[in-house]
Chains A and B, each alone.
Chain A
Amino acid sequence: MELLLLFLSAAIVNNFVLSYFLGICPFIGVSNKISSAFSMGLAATFVMTITSIVTWLIYHKILVPFELEFLQYVSFILVIASLVQFVEMFIKKVSQPLYRALGIFLPLITTNCAILGLALFIVLKEYSFIEGIVFGLGAGTGFTLAITLMAGIREELDLADVPKPFQGAPITLIVAGILAMAFMGFAGLI
Protein backbone atom coordinates (compact mmCIF):
# COMPACT_ATOMS: atom_id res chain seq x y z
CA MET A 1 0.00 0.00 0.00
CA GLU A 2 2.79 2.37 0.92
CA LEU A 3 4.52 1.57 -2.35
CA LEU A 4 1.33 2.36 -4.26
CA LEU A 5 1.14 5.71 -2.52
CA LEU A 6 4.79 6.38 -3.34
CA PHE A 7 4.10 5.56 -6.99
CA LEU A 8 1.06 7.86 -7.14
CA SER A 9 2.90 10.64 -5.35
CA ALA A 10 5.83 10.50 -7.79
CA ALA A 11 3.57 10.19 -10.84
CA ILE A 12 0.85 12.72 -10.09
CA VAL A 13 1.10 14.78 -6.93
CA ASN A 14 4.80 15.61 -7.14
CA ASN A 15 5.01 15.31 -10.90
CA PHE A 16 8.65 15.60 -11.95
CA VAL A 17 7.99 18.00 -14.80
CA LEU A 18 5.25 20.16 -13.39
CA SER A 19 6.33 20.55 -9.78
CA TYR A 20 10.08 19.79 -9.69
CA PHE A 21 10.88 21.25 -13.13
CA LEU A 22 12.96 18.25 -14.11
CA GLY A 23 13.10 17.29 -17.76
CA ILE A 24 11.86 20.62 -19.08
CA CYS A 25 14.07 20.56 -22.18
CA PRO A 26 12.44 17.49 -23.79
CA PHE A 27 9.11 18.62 -22.36
CA ILE A 28 9.31 21.75 -24.49
CA GLY A 29 11.41 20.33 -27.32
CA VAL A 30 9.75 17.00 -28.11
CA SER A 31 6.11 17.79 -27.35
CA ASN A 32 4.96 18.66 -30.87
CA LYS A 33 3.30 15.36 -31.67
CA ILE A 34 1.55 12.88 -29.39
CA SER A 35 3.26 9.85 -30.93
CA SER A 36 6.82 11.11 -30.53
CA ALA A 37 6.07 12.54 -27.09
CA PHE A 38 4.74 9.19 -25.94
CA SER A 39 7.82 7.37 -27.29
CA MET A 40 10.07 9.86 -25.51
CA GLY A 41 8.14 9.26 -22.31
CA LEU A 42 8.46 5.49 -22.64
CA ALA A 43 12.19 5.70 -23.36
CA ALA A 44 12.69 7.97 -20.36
CA THR A 45 10.62 5.73 -18.07
CA PHE A 46 12.66 2.74 -19.18
CA VAL A 47 15.98 4.44 -18.50
CA MET A 48 14.74 5.97 -15.24
CA THR A 49 13.72 2.60 -13.81
CA ILE A 50 17.08 1.02 -14.68
CA THR A 51 18.94 4.11 -13.42
CA SER A 52 17.24 3.93 -10.05
CA ILE A 53 18.39 0.30 -9.68
CA VAL A 54 21.97 0.86 -10.81
CA THR A 55 22.64 4.12 -8.99
CA TRP A 56 21.16 2.74 -5.78
CA LEU A 57 23.54 -0.22 -5.95
CA ILE A 58 26.51 1.99 -6.78
CA TYR A 59 25.80 4.48 -4.04
CA HIS A 60 25.02 2.03 -1.24
CA LYS A 61 27.35 -0.82 -2.20
CA ILE A 62 30.40 1.01 -3.53
CA LEU A 63 30.48 4.71 -2.65
CA VAL A 64 29.27 4.50 0.96
CA PRO A 65 31.44 1.52 2.07
CA PHE A 66 34.55 3.16 0.61
CA GLU A 67 33.57 6.65 1.83
CA LEU A 68 33.64 8.10 -1.66
CA GLU A 69 30.36 10.02 -1.47
CA PHE A 70 31.96 13.14 -2.92
CA LEU A 71 32.31 11.26 -6.19
CA GLN A 72 28.57 10.71 -6.47
CA TYR A 73 27.84 13.29 -9.18
CA VAL A 74 30.72 12.22 -11.37
CA SER A 75 29.93 8.54 -11.00
CA PHE A 76 26.16 9.00 -11.45
CA ILE A 77 26.51 10.94 -14.67
CA LEU A 78 29.04 8.43 -16.01
CA VAL A 79 26.71 5.58 -15.15
CA ILE A 80 23.75 7.29 -16.79
CA ALA A 81 25.68 8.13 -19.95
CA SER A 82 27.02 4.61 -20.36
CA LEU A 83 23.67 3.09 -19.37
CA VAL A 84 21.89 5.02 -22.08
CA GLN A 85 24.48 3.88 -24.60
CA PHE A 86 24.13 0.30 -23.42
CA VAL A 87 20.33 0.38 -23.50
CA GLU A 88 20.49 1.75 -27.02
CA MET A 89 22.75 -1.09 -28.21
CA PHE A 90 20.66 -3.66 -26.39
CA ILE A 91 17.37 -2.50 -27.87
CA LYS A 92 18.92 -2.34 -31.33
CA LYS A 93 19.98 -5.97 -31.02
CA VAL A 94 16.79 -7.31 -29.45
CA SER A 95 13.90 -5.44 -30.99
CA GLN A 96 14.13 -3.49 -34.22
CA PRO A 97 10.60 -1.98 -34.03
CA LEU A 98 11.23 -0.75 -30.50
CA TYR A 99 14.58 0.66 -31.60
CA ARG A 100 12.94 2.55 -34.43
CA ALA A 101 10.34 3.93 -32.03
CA LEU A 102 12.75 5.00 -29.29
CA GLY A 103 16.03 5.20 -31.19
CA ILE A 104 16.50 8.92 -31.76
CA PHE A 105 15.25 9.82 -28.31
CA LEU A 106 17.71 7.70 -26.37
CA PRO A 107 20.84 9.87 -26.79
CA LEU A 108 18.79 12.91 -25.75
CA ILE A 109 18.00 11.24 -22.46
CA THR A 110 21.59 11.49 -21.19
CA THR A 111 21.19 15.21 -20.66
CA ASN A 112 17.62 14.92 -19.41
CA CYS A 113 17.88 16.30 -15.91
CA ALA A 114 15.00 14.11 -14.79
CA ILE A 115 17.32 11.08 -14.85
CA LEU A 116 20.12 12.60 -12.77
CA GLY A 117 17.50 14.31 -10.59
CA LEU A 118 15.91 10.95 -9.91
CA ALA A 119 19.23 9.42 -8.83
CA LEU A 120 19.89 12.40 -6.53
CA PHE A 121 16.40 12.31 -5.02
CA ILE A 122 16.74 8.61 -4.21
CA VAL A 123 19.94 9.35 -2.29
CA LEU A 124 18.51 12.49 -0.68
CA LYS A 125 15.29 10.87 0.52
CA GLU A 126 17.09 7.71 1.65
CA TYR A 127 14.78 5.32 -0.15
CA SER A 128 15.28 1.58 0.18
CA PHE A 129 16.06 -0.50 -2.89
CA ILE A 130 12.42 -1.42 -3.62
CA GLU A 131 11.18 2.09 -2.87
CA GLY A 132 13.80 3.45 -5.26
CA ILE A 133 12.55 1.28 -8.11
CA VAL A 134 8.91 2.23 -7.46
CA PHE A 135 9.88 5.90 -7.24
CA GLY A 136 11.74 5.64 -10.56
CA LEU A 137 8.81 3.94 -12.24
CA GLY A 138 6.37 6.50 -10.83
CA ALA A 139 8.52 9.45 -11.87
CA GLY A 140 8.82 8.01 -15.37
CA THR A 141 5.07 7.49 -15.60
CA GLY A 142 4.51 11.06 -14.45
CA PHE A 143 6.93 12.34 -17.09
CA THR A 144 5.15 10.32 -19.80
CA LEU A 145 1.78 11.61 -18.60
CA ALA A 146 2.89 15.24 -18.59
CA ILE A 147 4.66 15.20 -21.95
CA THR A 148 1.80 13.33 -23.68
CA LEU A 149 -0.83 15.70 -22.26
CA MET A 150 1.29 18.63 -23.40
CA ALA A 151 1.64 17.19 -26.90
CA GLY A 152 -2.13 16.71 -27.09
CA ILE A 153 -2.70 20.33 -26.18
CA ARG A 154 -0.04 21.56 -28.59
CA GLU A 155 -1.57 19.63 -31.49
CA GLU A 156 -4.80 21.52 -30.88
CA LEU A 157 -2.88 24.74 -30.39
CA ASP A 158 -1.59 24.56 -33.96
CA LEU A 159 -5.10 25.42 -35.10
CA ALA A 160 -5.45 28.33 -32.69
CA ASP A 161 -4.70 31.92 -33.58
CA VAL A 162 -1.75 32.65 -31.30
CA PRO A 163 -0.21 36.16 -31.52
CA LYS A 164 3.03 35.95 -33.46
CA PRO A 165 5.51 36.88 -30.70
CA PHE A 166 3.96 34.23 -28.44
CA GLN A 167 4.26 31.37 -30.92
CA GLY A 168 6.63 28.55 -30.02
CA ALA A 169 8.29 28.55 -26.61
CA PRO A 170 6.28 31.33 -24.86
CA ILE A 171 2.85 29.83 -25.47
CA THR A 172 4.18 26.37 -24.56
CA LEU A 173 5.39 27.73 -21.23
CA ILE A 174 2.06 29.42 -20.55
CA VAL A 175 0.19 26.22 -21.35
CA ALA A 176 2.58 24.35 -19.05
CA GLY A 177 1.74 26.86 -16.34
CA ILE A 178 -1.97 26.19 -16.72
CA LEU A 179 -1.27 22.45 -16.72
CA ALA A 180 0.77 22.84 -13.53
CA MET A 181 -2.17 24.70 -11.96
CA ALA A 182 -4.46 21.82 -12.92
CA PHE A 183 -2.04 19.35 -11.32
CA MET A 184 -2.09 21.42 -8.13
CA GLY A 185 -5.60 20.06 -7.72
CA PHE A 186 -4.04 16.71 -6.79
CA ALA A 187 -2.12 18.29 -3.92
CA GLY A 188 -4.34 17.08 -1.10
CA LEU A 189 -4.62 13.56 -2.50
CA ILE A 190 -1.84 12.01 -0.42
Chain B
Amino acid sequence: MANKVTLTREFLKGLWEQNAVFKQVLGMCPVLAVTVSAENGIAMALATTFALVFSSFIVSLIKNWIPAQVRIAAYILIIATFVTIVDLVMKAQFPSLSKALGPFIPLIIVNCLILGRQEAFASKNSVLRAVLDALGMGTGFLIALFLLGSTRELFGSGTILGFQIMPDVYEPWLIMILPAGAFLTLGLMMGFFRTYSEKKKRVERDSIVDKYLRAKKVAETNPLEAN
Protein backbone atom coordinates (compact mmCIF):
# COMPACT_ATOMS: atom_id res chain seq x y z
CA MET B 1 0.00 0.00 0.00
CA ALA B 2 2.82 2.34 0.92
CA ASN B 3 4.14 2.72 -2.60
CA LYS B 4 0.90 3.00 -4.51
CA VAL B 5 0.83 6.78 -4.41
CA THR B 6 3.81 8.78 -5.58
CA LEU B 7 5.34 11.31 -3.22
CA THR B 8 4.37 14.28 -5.39
CA ARG B 9 0.74 13.11 -5.40
CA GLU B 10 0.90 13.01 -1.62
CA PHE B 11 1.68 16.71 -1.69
CA LEU B 12 -0.55 17.75 -4.59
CA LYS B 13 -3.75 16.08 -3.45
CA GLY B 14 -4.16 18.58 -0.61
CA LEU B 15 -3.99 21.59 -2.91
CA TRP B 16 -7.32 21.17 -4.60
CA GLU B 17 -8.64 17.64 -4.98
CA GLN B 18 -8.96 17.14 -1.21
CA ASN B 19 -8.85 20.81 -0.29
CA ALA B 20 -9.55 21.00 3.43
CA VAL B 21 -11.90 23.96 3.23
CA PHE B 22 -13.77 23.62 -0.05
CA LYS B 23 -13.95 19.85 -0.33
CA GLN B 24 -13.74 18.44 3.19
CA VAL B 25 -15.34 21.37 5.04
CA LEU B 26 -12.79 21.15 7.88
CA GLY B 27 -11.35 23.88 10.06
CA MET B 28 -14.26 26.24 9.49
CA CYS B 29 -13.86 28.43 12.58
CA PRO B 30 -10.59 30.16 11.63
CA VAL B 31 -11.59 30.20 7.97
CA LEU B 32 -14.64 32.31 8.68
CA ALA B 33 -13.28 34.35 11.54
CA VAL B 34 -9.96 35.71 10.28
CA THR B 35 -10.65 36.27 6.58
CA VAL B 36 -11.62 39.92 6.96
CA SER B 37 -8.50 40.70 4.95
CA ALA B 38 -6.16 38.69 2.74
CA GLU B 39 -3.22 39.45 5.03
CA ASN B 40 -4.91 37.96 8.10
CA GLY B 41 -5.89 34.92 6.06
CA ILE B 42 -2.31 34.31 4.95
CA ALA B 43 -0.94 34.74 8.48
CA MET B 44 -3.50 32.33 9.86
CA ALA B 45 -2.79 29.74 7.15
CA LEU B 46 0.96 29.95 7.73
CA ALA B 47 0.56 29.53 11.49
CA THR B 48 -1.73 26.55 10.93
CA THR B 49 0.64 25.00 8.39
CA PHE B 50 3.56 25.30 10.81
CA ALA B 51 1.64 23.55 13.57
CA LEU B 52 0.31 20.94 11.13
CA VAL B 53 3.68 20.06 9.61
CA PHE B 54 5.52 19.72 12.92
CA SER B 55 2.68 17.81 14.59
CA SER B 56 2.51 15.41 11.63
CA PHE B 57 6.28 14.97 11.83
CA ILE B 58 6.26 14.14 15.54
CA VAL B 59 3.13 11.99 15.40
CA SER B 60 4.38 9.86 12.53
CA LEU B 61 7.76 9.57 14.29
CA ILE B 62 6.33 8.22 17.54
CA LYS B 63 3.16 6.58 16.17
CA ASN B 64 4.21 3.13 17.38
CA TRP B 65 4.68 4.25 20.96
CA ILE B 66 1.32 5.94 21.45
CA PRO B 67 -1.27 3.56 22.98
CA ALA B 68 -4.45 3.54 20.90
CA GLN B 69 -6.72 4.46 23.82
CA VAL B 70 -5.05 7.78 24.57
CA ARG B 71 -3.99 8.71 21.04
CA ILE B 72 -6.39 11.63 20.62
CA ALA B 73 -5.24 13.20 23.88
CA ALA B 74 -1.61 12.65 22.85
CA TYR B 75 -2.19 14.27 19.44
CA ILE B 76 -3.90 17.27 21.00
CA LEU B 77 -1.02 17.73 23.46
CA ILE B 78 1.54 17.62 20.64
CA ILE B 79 -0.50 20.11 18.62
CA ALA B 80 -0.96 22.38 21.64
CA THR B 81 2.81 22.48 22.19
CA PHE B 82 3.47 23.71 18.65
CA VAL B 83 0.60 26.18 18.75
CA THR B 84 2.06 27.65 21.94
CA ILE B 85 5.37 28.10 20.09
CA VAL B 86 3.60 29.83 17.19
CA ASP B 87 1.67 32.07 19.55
CA LEU B 88 4.73 33.15 21.52
CA VAL B 89 6.76 33.81 18.36
CA MET B 90 3.95 35.85 16.82
CA LYS B 91 3.48 37.87 20.00
CA ALA B 92 7.19 38.72 20.00
CA GLN B 93 7.77 39.27 16.27
CA PHE B 94 4.44 40.46 14.82
CA PRO B 95 2.53 42.08 17.69
CA SER B 96 -0.03 43.82 15.47
CA LEU B 97 -0.84 40.64 13.54
CA SER B 98 -1.06 38.68 16.76
CA LYS B 99 -3.50 41.25 18.09
CA ALA B 100 -5.64 41.12 14.93
CA LEU B 101 -5.94 37.34 15.08
CA GLY B 102 -6.53 37.40 18.84
CA PRO B 103 -7.78 34.17 20.39
CA PHE B 104 -7.88 32.44 17.02
CA ILE B 105 -4.17 31.58 17.19
CA PRO B 106 -4.60 29.40 20.32
CA LEU B 107 -7.76 28.02 18.75
CA ILE B 108 -5.62 26.35 16.07
CA ILE B 109 -5.27 23.59 18.68
CA VAL B 110 -8.86 22.51 18.14
CA ASN B 111 -8.79 23.03 14.37
CA CYS B 112 -10.30 19.78 13.16
CA LEU B 113 -8.08 19.93 10.06
CA ILE B 114 -4.93 19.28 12.11
CA LEU B 115 -6.38 16.59 14.35
CA GLY B 116 -8.04 15.03 11.31
CA ARG B 117 -4.73 14.71 9.44
CA GLN B 118 -3.04 13.14 12.48
CA GLU B 119 -5.79 10.59 12.90
CA ALA B 120 -6.34 9.86 9.21
CA PHE B 121 -2.84 10.12 7.84
CA ALA B 122 0.20 10.83 10.02
CA SER B 123 -0.55 7.99 12.43
CA LYS B 124 -0.53 5.46 9.59
CA ASN B 125 2.24 6.63 7.27
CA SER B 126 5.99 7.17 7.15
CA VAL B 127 7.55 10.43 8.30
CA LEU B 128 8.31 11.71 4.80
CA ARG B 129 4.78 11.07 3.55
CA ALA B 130 3.24 12.58 6.65
CA VAL B 131 5.26 15.77 6.24
CA LEU B 132 4.47 16.03 2.51
CA ASP B 133 0.80 15.46 3.18
CA ALA B 134 0.84 18.11 5.90
CA LEU B 135 2.60 20.58 3.58
CA GLY B 136 0.03 19.93 0.85
CA MET B 137 -2.92 20.30 3.17
CA GLY B 138 -1.42 23.46 4.63
CA THR B 139 -0.91 24.94 1.18
CA GLY B 140 -4.47 24.04 0.24
CA PHE B 141 -5.62 25.79 3.39
CA LEU B 142 -3.53 28.82 2.40
CA ILE B 143 -5.13 28.91 -1.06
CA ALA B 144 -8.61 28.75 0.43
CA LEU B 145 -7.95 31.41 3.05
CA PHE B 146 -6.31 33.71 0.52
CA LEU B 147 -9.21 33.36 -1.94
CA LEU B 148 -11.79 34.00 0.73
CA GLY B 149 -9.80 36.77 2.41
CA SER B 150 -9.09 38.66 -0.79
CA THR B 151 -12.70 38.37 -1.97
CA ARG B 152 -14.01 39.74 1.29
CA GLU B 153 -11.38 42.45 1.41
CA LEU B 154 -12.02 43.44 -2.21
CA PHE B 155 -15.75 43.95 -1.73
CA GLY B 156 -15.64 44.98 1.90
CA SER B 157 -12.87 47.58 1.76
CA GLY B 158 -12.03 47.88 -1.95
CA THR B 159 -8.45 46.67 -1.46
CA ILE B 160 -6.40 43.48 -1.73
CA LEU B 161 -3.45 43.14 0.68
CA GLY B 162 -3.86 46.85 1.37
CA PHE B 163 -3.58 47.96 -2.27
CA GLN B 164 -6.48 49.97 -3.67
CA ILE B 165 -8.20 47.94 -6.40
CA MET B 166 -11.67 49.39 -6.67
CA PRO B 167 -12.12 52.94 -8.03
CA ASP B 168 -12.67 55.74 -5.50
CA VAL B 169 -16.38 56.00 -6.24
CA TYR B 170 -16.86 52.41 -5.07
CA GLU B 171 -18.96 52.23 -1.92
CA PRO B 172 -17.60 49.32 0.23
CA TRP B 173 -20.14 46.66 1.15
CA LEU B 174 -20.06 46.70 4.92
CA ILE B 175 -21.71 43.30 5.08
CA MET B 176 -18.62 41.61 3.62
CA ILE B 177 -16.43 42.36 6.62
CA LEU B 178 -19.17 41.54 9.11
CA PRO B 179 -19.70 37.94 10.30
CA ALA B 180 -22.72 37.44 8.03
CA GLY B 181 -20.57 38.21 4.98
CA ALA B 182 -18.15 35.43 5.90
CA PHE B 183 -20.86 32.79 5.87
CA LEU B 184 -22.40 34.10 2.66
CA THR B 185 -19.11 34.38 0.76
CA LEU B 186 -17.90 30.93 1.73
CA GLY B 187 -21.27 29.36 0.97
CA LEU B 188 -21.47 30.99 -2.46
CA MET B 189 -17.84 30.16 -3.31
CA MET B 190 -18.28 26.53 -2.33
CA GLY B 191 -21.44 26.35 -4.42
CA PHE B 192 -19.80 27.87 -7.47
CA PHE B 193 -16.79 25.58 -7.26
CA ARG B 194 -19.12 22.61 -7.09
CA THR B 195 -21.12 23.92 -10.04
CA TYR B 196 -17.89 24.15 -11.99
CA SER B 197 -16.73 20.62 -11.17
CA GLU B 198 -20.20 19.22 -11.87
CA LYS B 199 -20.16 20.93 -15.23
CA LYS B 200 -16.71 19.53 -16.01
CA LYS B 201 -17.90 16.06 -15.10
CA ARG B 202 -20.99 16.47 -17.27
CA VAL B 203 -18.96 17.70 -20.23
CA GLU B 204 -16.68 14.68 -19.91
CA ARG B 205 -19.63 12.33 -19.74
CA ASP B 206 -21.37 14.04 -22.68
CA SER B 207 -18.26 13.82 -24.83
CA ILE B 208 -18.05 10.06 -24.24
CA VAL B 209 -21.75 9.62 -25.05
CA ASP B 210 -21.32 11.85 -28.06
CA LYS B 211 -18.41 9.85 -29.38
CA TYR B 212 -20.35 6.65 -28.94
CA LEU B 213 -23.43 8.03 -30.70
CA ARG B 214 -21.38 9.35 -33.59
CA ALA B 215 -19.62 6.04 -34.02
CA LYS B 216 -22.99 4.30 -33.95
CA LYS B 217 -24.41 6.69 -36.54
CA VAL B 218 -21.44 6.17 -38.81
CA ALA B 219 -21.80 2.44 -38.41
CA GLU B 220 -25.51 2.60 -39.27
CA THR B 221 -25.26 4.84 -42.32
CA ASN B 222 -22.09 3.40 -43.69
CA PRO B 223 -21.30 -0.07 -42.37
CA LEU B 224 -18.29 -0.51 -44.63
CA GLU B 225 -16.51 2.61 -43.49
CA ALA B 226 -17.00 1.80 -39.84
CA ASN B 227 -15.36 -1.54 -40.26
Contacts and interface: CB of A to CB of B under 8 A. Distances in A.
Contact of B29 (A25, A171, A177): A25
B179 A19 contact: yes
Interface stretch (B11-19, B109-117, B129-137): B109-117
B175 A181 contact: yes
A21 interface: yes
B84 A170 contact: no
Contacts of A178: 180, 184
A73 B183 contact: no
Contacts of A177: 180-184, 187
A120 B187 contact: no
Given A73-B80, A74-B77, A174-B187, A113 B107 contact: yes
Nearest to A166: B191
A174 to B, nearest CB: 4
Given A164-B198, A165-B195, A77 B187 contact: no
A112 B109 CA distance: 10
Interface string A31-72: 000000000000000000000000000000000000000110
A153 to B, nearest CB: 13
Interface string B38-69: 00000000000000000000000000000000
Interface residues of B, number: 43
B72 A22 contact: no
A174 B188 contact: yes
Interface of A: 18-25, 28, 70-71, 73-74, 77-78, 81-82, 110-113, 115-117, 120-121, 124, 163-166, 169-174, 176-178, 180-181, 184
- Sort A-B residue pairs by CB-CB distance and give the 5 closest, nearest first: A173-B187, A177-B183, A165-B194, A177-B184, A174-B187
Interface of B: 25-26, 28-30, 32-33, 72-73, 76-77, 80-81, 83-84, 87-88, 102-103, 106-107, 109-112, 115, 175, 178-184, 186-188, 190-192, 194-195, 198
30 contacts: A19-B179, A21-B32, A21-B182, A23-B29, A24-B28, A25-B26, A28-B28, A71-B84, A73-B106, A77-B77, A77-B80, A77-B110, A111-B110, A113-B107, A117-B107, A163-B195, A165-B194, A166-B191, A166-B194, A173-B184, A173-B186, A176-B183, A177-B180, A177-B182, A177-B183, A177-B184, A177-B187, A180-B178, A180-B183, A181-B180
